Amino acid sequence: MKKLLSLLLCVATILALAVVPAFAEEPVEINMFISSPEYADAIHALIDAYKEVAPNVTINYETTQNDYPTLLKTRINAGMTPDIFATTSGKEIGDYIEYSYNFAGEPAAEAMDPAVKAMMLYGEDEVHGFALKGNYFGLMYNKAIFEEVGLEVPKTLDEFEAACEKLSEAGYQPVSTGFAEWWVFKHVLQHFLDAASDDPAALVAAFQAGEAHFKDYPVLYDNFFRFIDLAVKYGDAKPLETDLAGEEAAFGVGEAAMILGQGAWVEADILAIDDAFQMGFAGYPVTDDPAQSKIISGSDQALRINKDSANLQAVLDFVNWWYTSDYGKSWFCDVAGVIPPISDAKVADMQIINQGAELAASDGADALSICYSSDSFNQAMGEAIQAYIGGTLTKDECCAQIEAKWVEIDGSAA
């Protein structure tokens, strides 16, 4: 019996060692540079929790949003690739492949939700990214204001214009845009790309090859720019000076009835302004067909592991802990308040997440078409539209500049 107990104890010890990471015994530093500053507090909490588990590991965390692609490329070109860095998922998985570690087979890769993992693949089975969160993208509106004014959610462009006029007459700012942020435009444009073609991936590829033009697609040339024009007309007094914080403030205090380019990631900030705020969530009005007003779901950001990291094992230990530990699995819901990108995690009871799930189930969800282009292109596209809004580019000039950048940055001339 003693021999049997000893054998069982030995086996248990071996199994424990097999599933518990051997955290660094010597001091190690991990440099983490990612976008999404709206999650800075949550990531700091994650890092603090990991310090309790791995006291010898110091994680140097930096975040920014504006000009992130340029800053990342500058660091990579200088030989200072961060140990963990962010790109978009989809197309950019391949664009940064030479700097990215394939961690297929690691516990984190096995824990990933299959739909999320599909956006992180290079080839059929190489995993080159992990997600901070899943997402829903759509139009956010103030339910109380809409009820007070007697409005239904606009599902067509005509309904959107009529809603804006009625809200304005009632004394509300119809919409806050956040147009100081280039990335807001990619979140908006993707809804129109999805409506413009039954195969948005092929459409984007045609733009990247120089074989498609805005004028060929009325949903893009007419509808998208009409939407932008209406947002400017009924939006912020200085749209190119209103950033994420300004957008959240106008929405949270009940000044603006709708906001653009945002999703579940702003809910916590809005509730911090007004904890009784009732958020509505819907698809964008993109055509005269209400059925095309759909939300978008998916994971648009990939966090990557530097394949040449001097502390690769320490980085893998951290990522595996993040995706598989009890704290890590609860962090997505309880701390970050996001849609978990892993299968074995509870989902946060949040207004946008709940409505997004309901809309996806009842009406379906469109493709995350921003991931068919690189963020370097998306930034150039956003800057071109900002120039259009500022009056330094005409619509035709803006379209021509976007088309040229699609080819130059993502296409045959890249």
- Asked if residue 360 belongs to a domain, the reply is no
| Range scoring the smallest mean pLDDT among 204-208, 362-366, 386-390 | 362-366
Separation between Cα atoms, residue 94 and residue 200, nearest integer Å: 19
Same domain, 92 and 233: no
Same domain, 101 and 163: no
Same domain, 127 and 148: no
Same domain, 184 and 74: no
Separation between Cα atoms, residue 364 and residue 367, nearest integer Å: 10
- Asked if the model's pLDDT at residue 217 lies above 60, the reply is yes
SS3 181: coil
CATH number at residue 209: 3.40.190.10
- Asked if residue 54 belongs to a domain, the reply is yes
SS3 13: helix
404 band by pLDDT with thresholds 50, 70 and 90 = very high
- Asked if residue 15 belongs to a domain, the reply is no
Compute CA 81 distance to the chain's CA centroid, rounded to the nearest angstrom.
22
Average pLDDT, stretch 148-172? 98
pLDDT recorded at residue 22:
57
Paired residues of 81 in beta bridges: none
- Asked if residue 239 belongs to a domain, the reply is yes
Q: Give the global pTM.
A: 0.78
Take residue 175 and report the two structure tokens written for it.
Answer: 């919409």
> Is the Cβ–Cβ distance between 279 and 351 less than 8 Å?
yes
Same domain, 397 and 289: yes
Q: Which residues contact 261 (CB under 8 A, 6 or more apart)?
A: 177, 178, 181, 183, 184, 185, 187, 188
Average pLDDT, stretch 362-387? 92
CA dihedral in degrees (380, 386, 392, 395; nearest 10)? 80
pLDDT recorded at residue 357:
87
Q: pLDDT tens digits, residue range 311-344?
A: 999 999 999 999 999 999 999 989 988 889 998 8
Same domain, 70 and 160: no
Same domain, 114 and 150: no
Average pLDDT, stretch 37-53? 94
pLDDT recorded at residue 276:
97
* Helix, strand, coil fractions of the chain, as percent rounded to 5: 55, 15, 30
Q: Pairing state of beta strands 139-142 and 173-176?
A: unpaired
Same domain, 105 and 188: no
Same domain, 100 and 35: yes
pLDDT recorded at residue 114:
86
Q: Angle CA(102)–CA(104)–CA(109) in degrees, nearest 5? A: 115
- Asked if the model's pLDDT at residue 247 lies above 80, the reply is yes
E strands, 57-201, are 57-63, 84-88, 121-122, 126-127, 135-137, 139-142, 173-176
pLDDT recorded at residue 17:
37
Same domain, 107 and 217: no
- Asked if the model's pLDDT at residue 187 lies above 60, the reply is yes
Separation between Cα atoms, residue 401 and residue 394, nearest integer Å: 10
- Asked if residue 160 belongs to a domain, the reply is yes
| Range scoring the smallest mean pLDDT among 138-142, 152-156, 259-263 | 259-263
Q: Residue 336 sits in which domain range?
A: 24-133+301-348
pLDDT recorded at residue 13:
39
| Range scoring the smallest mean pLDDT among 177-191, 219-233, 271-285, 340-354 | 340-354
pLDDT recorded at residue 102:
98
Same domain, 120 and 169: no
- Asked if the model's pLDDT at residue 14 lies above 50, the reply is no
SS3 412: coil
- For residue 146, report the phi and psi dihedrals to the nearest 5 degrees: -60, -40
